[in-house]
Amino acid sequence: MDAEKIAKIARKSIGKFCVEECKAYCCRKGYLILNENQVDLVMQNRKDELKLMLKPLQNGTFSMYMGGTIQSCPSLAEDYMCRIHLNKNRPNTCKEFPMFLSGNKIILSPRCLAVREGKFFPYIKKLQKLGYSLIIGDENPLMDLLTQNNSSS
């Protein structure tokens, strides 16, 4: 089995946990780097109403902060299900969170409760057998990867 398939299975394995136990923490207290097309999709065509959530970045992308005094991701429903989960144009961060593959590295988001609870352990072991090394707890490679993935989408 190839690395991308293992990562996809790993991400899918935490779906129920994310909705029922974690309550989509990443979508309530996180941030996204979005390109112009993704802004309208994620903001559910409420960009003007929710403009305080967006901060333009220098490279033509936007940072969308979720959680402060404003609200969670506009695509997150009250039952903690994502309204755009099945949309092929959703941001790569949403598709890949919290496990990102970059070169021969596995980058796990330290902000994810499933990561903190070790729910990815069996998948990490499989990826390590394929020659991947693990990065966790250091957000610099993760931020670089997120910015790169979403500006090219």
Lowest mean pLDDT among 39-43, 69-73, 83-87: 69-73
* Distance from the Cα of residue 143 to its chain's centroid: 11
Confidence (pLDDT) at 153: 46
Query: Of 140 and 23, which is predicted with more confidence?
Result: 23
Confidence (pLDDT) at 142: 46
**pLDDT, mean of residues 35-60:** 88
Q: Please provide the average confidence, as pLDDT, over all residues in the chain.
A: 86
107-145 tens-digit pLDDT: 999 889 999 999 999 999 999 999 999 887 554 444 444
Confidence (pLDDT) at 146: 45
What is the C-alpha to C-alpha distance for residues 61 and 72, in angstroms, rounded to an integer?
Answer: 19
3 neighbors 124 (Cβ within 8 angstroms): no
94-107 tens-digit pLDDT: 999 999 999 999 99
Query: Of 136 and 25, which is predicted with more confidence?
Result: 25
Confidence (pLDDT) at 57: 92
| 3 state SS for the chain | CCHHHHHHHHHHHCHHHHHHHHCCHHHHCCEEEECHHHHHHHCCCCCCCCHHHEEECCCCCEEEECCCCCCCCCCECCCCCECCCCCCCCCHHHHHCCEEEECCEEEECCCCHHHHCCCCHHHHHHHHHCCCEEEECCHHHHHHHHHHHHHCC
